[in-house]
Structure 1
């Protein structure tokens, strides 16, 4: 019999240590990929890190499904997501905006451009995409995709359709693939992917849902595996016309990396991924959200370039200075802002929502 994935108690919520470790690894490979953009020769070895977000999306599909099965009401989901995401996200936006101001005002970086105060304010919503405002930092582009997935899953939960999530979402994944393969230049196709950016990665999220079903030992074991394989092929078909990885890796390279990610998840659900769990990956997993959000602009537009101007070797600037500094900042945000504010917000927002419901 296969050993079950290891679970431990953390803040009264069961956490799966393999997933925490995977988050940490995904954040690290994305960070290293962004660092290597400053060194084209090194990029040849790290370009596969551009797909780290694919791993994040599969994890999200798994975790959100698991979270929804452990709550009783829609407002719990809303409070949990808001408390988990926004304090860290707001801190990252404020941090990056501050670095941008320092670059523009004192270091002469892009002096022809004004301080992006308007962009800063819209970015605080996490929905700047729909306001037509550019992301203040590179990693933010994935947040609207995550938020749309949360909204879709939250809607399915409150309408008591969560058990039918796969049956509802699989046709949408098929639609996206059909549009990219046969009708890509049609106005409807362009509008569909522009107005619903989740479509470009939906097979990954659905795969996460299906992996959770395997993990939870739900019925239709063989069907779930077949559907996972189907989502894998659908995502491969979407690659050439959607997402950002196709700017850095070939289609065949993407197939290879995606195969590795799906293989990792199969190992996980069958209890064979414990070997990645160690204090380093668990620590990186705990700080992964903050690390993912704050590293790009700070590192590749501020810290590393300025260190190199002062004569510091690229590898020293990137991996002996920028990497530990980013980890230190992310740890500070996680343990002194994210964790305390999440607890405080949950406690007080639950009280507020309970009071509103009782009054009604």
Structure 2
């Protein structure tokens, strides 16, 4: 058994190739943040501009969302297919909170304790606004309010946890749209709703934008910043979760259909990989050429490049990652084993949540260490940064996993298995 599987409390229930997929998402996010903190160096190999690829490794977040849709919807879809009741809501949501809450809350407390005031301004902690920011983070609501959205620079990845928690809350309801083989209708509806929402965020909602600007504890958000905030609510990510749910629905079907064979799976995986690289190269080029690393830049302009980047920054990546996941899931056992055995990927996937939580604070800390800070050449800085940083992040994430996340996984599993016992009939039959 591989080290990654040995770390898990129930390795028999694990899916190693999906751990490897999650490992890709983690590595993408880690490299992207380290690259950004190393002055975004530019270089080309064989005519390929590497920075065009690296800048779009932020799409690892899109992969996380698709994976959530795949993994969490299966129990509901299987129950429907077998004519059984869906999992009870309260045990389900309790299990989800126990799964992601304790590691996150611990890291949140440590970040606020040790990174204020060096990286987090005092007023964002020790003030009325600071109290509201912290409470919203505790309740997984940091991305619902302008005053807490991105408030902790060292906790930048925390914004995605609001999206995840909202998905957990509504999944038992929205998954019904995918019952009885309605997977493609559910995906289509999600794309339509998100596209309309993104259009409204860009060109309309003036009253809402003005209201939000006037109620942000005086933080002074621009209208472009408010529109960016609105576009990054859960409505903008419905296709990601819908694609994941659709994949789960397809995988419950018999594999006799010609579109669900091992050969078809290989083609899906190759098509997804090709689409992913094409998207990264094209959108990465636009990002570098027009300064779209500044998330408000494509709101300030309304030319073709700005519109293309805005609408294609996220949703097409969900399609590419969905094809890869579907392809690997349909693929042969040899394909799955080969992918899962790529050195390090499964380990990064198993430790993925812990790495995701702590990597940004640690990168900020290490970037100020004299051995790394003294290196002024961008690529050498990045090389040192990733070499030393990855080792430290892996070690500390392993400690966090073993001491907090693994127990959380056990508590979550126990909570999800608890079902309400029907009342025992009385002796009189009433």
CA offset digits 1:318-338 (Å, max 9, x no partner): 122211111111111111111
- Indicate the residue corresponding to 2:35 in structure 1: 36
Whether the 8 Å CA contact 2:112–2:120 is kept in 1: the answer is no
Whether the 8 Å CA contact 1:88–1:333 is kept in 2: the answer is yes
- Indicate the residue corresponding to 1:289 in structure 2: 353
Select the residue among 127, 130, 135 that pairs with 1:121.
135
- Indicate the residue corresponding to 1:62 in structure 2: 70
> What does residue range 185-264 of structure 1 map to in structure 2 within 5 Å?
185-187=203-205, 194=230, 197-217=233-253, 247-248=292-293, 251=308, 260-264=320-324
Q: Distance in 1 between matches of 2:15 and 2:374?
A: 44
Q: Which moved more, 1:178-187 or 1:26-35?
A: 178-187
Whether the 8 Å CA contact 2:91–2:416 is kept in 1: the answer is no
Task: Indicate how the Cα distance of structure 1 residues 110 and 173 shifts in structure 2: closer, same or farther if over 3 A, else same.
Answer: closer
- Indicate the residue corresponding to 2:428 in structure 1: none
CA offset digits 1:11-60 (Å, max 9, x no partner): 27722111111111110111010000022215715212111111111111
Q: Distance in 2 between matches of 1:221 and 1:175?
A: 30
Task: Indicate how the Cα distance of structure 1 residues 258 and 131 shifts in structure 2: closer, same or farther if over 3 A, else same.
Answer: closer
CA offset digits 1:128-184 (Å, max 9, x no partner): 233442343111111121122212212346xx6661674456424313314545884
Q: Distance in 2 between matches of 1:222 and 1:176?
A: 31
- Indicate the residue corresponding to 1:150 in structure 2: 168
Q: Which moved more, 1:190-199 or 1:27-36?
A: 190-199
The total of aligned residue pairs comes to: 332
Q: CA deviation at 1:218?
A: 5.7
Q: Distance in 1 between matches of 2:124 and 2:168?
A: 34
1:49 aligns with 2:48: no
Select the residue among 105, 109, 112 that pairs with 1:97.
112
Whether the 8 Å CA contact 1:308–1:314 is kept in 2: the answer is no
- Indicate the residue corresponding to 2:367 in structure 1: 304
Alignment root-mean-square deviation, CA: 4.3
Select the residue among 313, 320, 325 that pairs with 1:265.
325
Q: CA deviation at 1:277?
A: 0.6
- Indicate the residue corresponding to 1:77 in structure 2: 92
Q: Which moved more, 1:248-257 or 1:8-17?
A: 248-257
Structure (1 or 2) with the larger CA radius of gyration:
2
Q: CA deviation at 1:296?
A: 1.4
TM-score normalised by length of structure 1: 0.74
